[in-house]
Structure 1
Amino acid sequence: MLINCKGRLTDISSPKVMGILNCTPDSFFDGGKYRNETQLLQQAEKMLTDGATFIDLGAYSSKPNAEFVSEDQELQRIVPVVELLVKHFPDVLLSIDTFRAKVAEACILSGAAIINDIAAGHLDDAMLPTVGKLKVPYIMMHMRGNPQTMVKLTQYNDIIKEMLFYFSDRIHAARTHGIDDIIIDPGFGFAKTLAQNYEVLNKMELFDITGLPLLAGVSRKSMIYKLLGTTPKEALNGTSVLNTIALTKGAKILRVHDVKEAVETVKIFEQLKA
C-alpha cells in the first residue's frame, strides 16, 4: 500500500503516525501553544524524533463552532510555517489541513506533500481539480456542512450506509480529476453525536469496501473526554485506547497530538500480528 509523497513512495501497509501541528490560536487542544519559529521547530523536531512519518499543519480550526478565518489569513498563517519546516527538515512530509484550493496549492508549491481536506471538496469546487493537477495524495474526510454548522447536522437513517454513499461519490469525483492516491477519514467529531462516533469506530472495518487506506483522527476529542467527564488535557489514555481499536479496525494512519504514545501503540499492535 504505497502513496507517492514528493516523488518518494511511502509504504503505509504498516500503520504510520501523523503528528498534529496547529498554527491557530483557537484549536481545541493546543491553540496558540506554538507562537514563534523556535517553538514550531522544537515541536516538529520532537514529533519527527518520536517517530512521526507525517506532520499535519492546520491554520483554520475545524472544531465545532470554530471562528471563520479568511483565505488571506489562512495563507498568512500557514505558508511561512511550511517554508520554515521544509528549510530546517528538507525530508519532512507535510500534510496540509485545509478545504481551500488556493491554500492547498500555495503550500504544495512551498514544499508540502499531502492535502488533508475536511470537506472532501464540498467547500471549494476548485479543490479536486487543483489536487489532481498537483498530483499529490489526498485525504478526504466525511463531514456535513462546515465547522460552524456541522453540530446541527447529525440526523442519519443509517450512518454507515450514508457515509459509504458519500465516499463513493467523493472518490468518483476525485478519480475524475486524476487524483491517484486517496486516503479516507471517517471524520470523528464532525457532524456526529458521541454515540454516532462510537458506532462509526465500532464498524470502521466496513469502509474497507472502498479499497482505500483509512486515517483515524480521535486524538483528545470530545468523544473521549465527554464520555469520561474529563478534559482534552486528560484524554491521552483514552486516545491510546481508541487508537488501538482503530488499528484493529484497519486504520493505516493515526492522526495524533501525542506522537510517542501513538508510535508505541502501533509497535505493540504490529507485534501482535508478527
Structure 2
Amino acid sequence: MKFGTKQLDLSEVQIMGILNVTPDSFSDGGNFNNIDHAIKQVQTMVNDGATIIDIGGESTRPGAVDVELQEELDRVIPVIEAITERFDTVISIDTSKAEVMQAAIVSGAGLINDVRALQNEGCLDVVAKSDLPVCLMHMQGMPRTMQSAPHYIDVVQDVMRFFQQRIQVCEQAGIKKQRIILDPGYGFGKTLEQNYQLLANQSQLLQVGLPILAGLSRKSMIGNLLNCSVEQRLAGSLSAAVLAALNGAKIIRVHDVKETVDAVKVFNAMVAQINN
C-alpha cells in the first residue's frame, strides 16, 4: 500500500510506533510534548523497527476532554515537519479534525488515522481530495463517555456493519476502497469481555477485504485482566499483538516497539514455515 511517497508491504506485519505529543494520554502523556524529546523518541522507534510513526495531539483515553483546534495544530504540525526533515518513515496523523488532517498532509503525513472514522465535518472531503490511505476506527460513543455502558447485540457483527456503512460513505465521497484500513477500536466503547470477543473473532473482519490495524498496547483490557498498572503491561501487550497478528492484523500500533518487533519476527518466521 502507498503511504504518500512511501510504499509499505502489508503482506507482512508492520509496526506503528505511538508518539503522543499530549500532556494527558493514558500511558505516556507529557513525555514527548517537546520537539527535542519527540525527535529522540522517533529515532529510537525507527531504529527499533517501526515503519510508521503515529502522532497524536489529542488524548482519546476514556474521560478525555476535547482539545481546541489551534492547540492541536501547535502540538502536532511542528513535530511532523521535524520528523519529515530527519527521517524516511511513514508519518500517521491521529486526529478527527479536518483542519488538522489538511495541515498534516501538507506537512508530510502519509496516513490519516481517525478514531471517529471521518464522521466529523469536513473530514471526508479532505481525505477524498488527497491520495493518502485512511484508517477508520470503530468507537461506540465518544471518549468522555464511551466506557459508561457499552452495549452490543453482537460486538463482532455490529463492528462489521459499522465498517460496511463507513466504507460505503467513503466511496460515495470519492475515497477508493483500496485506500482504507480498518481498526476494530479495542478499548473504545467496549467492555473487557467484548474486547476479547472481538480479538478472538477479529479474522471475521477480513471478509470486508481490507487491511486491519490493531491497537491493544498497554490498554485497560490488559491491565484489568491482569490487575496491573500501565507500566506492568508489556507481557500482556506482546501477547495481544501476536494474537492480533495471528487473527489477520497487518499493522500493530504499539508503545514498546523493539519488544513487539521481536515478537512479530517470531510470528513471521512461523508463518513462513506454514506457507512453505
TM-score range, shorter chain: over 0.9
Please say if residues 12 and 250 of structure 2, whose CA atoms lie closer than 8 Å, have aligned partners that are also in contact. Answer: yes
Please say if residues 256 and 262 of structure 1, whose CA atoms lie closer than 8 Å, have aligned partners that are also in contact. Answer: yes
CA distance in 2, matches of 1:263, 1:74: 30
Please name the residue that 2:172 is paired with: 176
The offset of 1:150, in angstroms, is 1.2
Give yes or no for the alignment of 1:138 onto 2:98. no
Please name the residue that 1:256 is paired with: 254
Q: Secondary structure at the match of 1:144?
A: coil
Out of 1, 7, 10, the position equivalent to 2:8 is 10
The offset of 1:129, in angstroms, is 1.4
Mean Cα displacement is larger for which, 141-150 or 200-209?
141-150
Please name the residue that 1:154 is paired with: 150
CA distance in 1, matches of 2:52, 2:238: 18
Identity %: 43
Please say if residues 20 and 33 of structure 2, whose CA atoms lie closer than 8 Å, have aligned partners that are also in contact. Answer: no
Mean Cα displacement is larger for which, 232-241 or 170-179?
170-179
Q: Secondary structure at the match of 1:11?
A: coil
Please say if residues 145 and 153 of structure 1, whose CA atoms lie closer than 8 Å, have aligned partners that are also in contact. Answer: no
Query: Which ranges of structure 2 fall in alignment gaps of 5 or more residues?
Result: none
CA distance in 1, matches of 2:244, 2:180: 19
Cα offsets for 1:194-226 (capped at 9, x unmatched): 110000000000001110000110000000011
Please name the residue that 1:42 is paired with: 40
The offset of 1:152, in angstroms, is 2.7
Q: Which AA in structure 1 matches 2:106?
A: L
Please say if residues 144 and 153 of structure 1, whose CA atoms lie closer than 8 Å, have aligned partners that are also in contact. Answer: no
Please name the residue that 1:242 is paired with: 240
Please say if residues 18 and 254 of structure 1, whose CA atoms lie closer than 8 Å, have aligned partners that are also in contact. Answer: yes
Q: Which AA in structure 2 matches 1:110?
A: S
Q: Which AA in structure 1 matches 2:123?
A: M
The offset of 1:9, in angstroms, is 2.7
Out of 108, 111, 125, the position equivalent to 1:111 is 108
Please name the residue that 1:30 is paired with: 28
Please name the residue that 1:216 is paired with: 214
Please say if residues 217 and 253 of structure 2, whose CA atoms lie closer than 8 Å, have aligned partners that are also in contact. Answer: yes
Please name the residue that 2:91 is paired with: 94
CA distance in 1, matches of 2:5, 2:93: 17
The offset of 1:125, in angstroms, is 2.6
Taking structure 1 as the reference length, the TM-score comes to 0.96
Please say if residues 138 and 179 of structure 1, whose CA atoms lie closer than 8 Å, have aligned partners that are also in contact. Answer: no
- How much is the aligned-residue C-alpha RMSD, in angstroms? 1.0
Q: Secondary structure at the match of 2:253?
A: strand
CA distance in 1, matches of 2:72, 2:130: 20
Please say if residues 33 and 75 of structure 2, whose CA atoms lie closer than 8 Å, have aligned partners that are also in contact. Answer: no
Please say if residues 95 and 115 of structure 1, whose CA atoms lie closer than 8 Å, have aligned partners that are also in contact. Answer: yes
Query: Aligned residues, how many?
Result: 270
Query: Which ranges of structure 1 fall in alignment gaps of 5 or more residues?
Result: none
CA distance in 2, matches of 1:58, 1:96: 6
Give yes or no for the alignment of 1:186 onto 2:203. no
CA distance in 2, matches of 1:240, 1:161: 26
The offset of 1:92, in angstroms, is 2.0
Structure 1: which 4+ aligned runs deviate by more than 3 Å?
none
CA distance in 2, matches of 1:105, 1:218: 27
CA distance in 2, matches of 1:267, 1:153: 38
The offset of 1:153, in angstroms, is 4.8
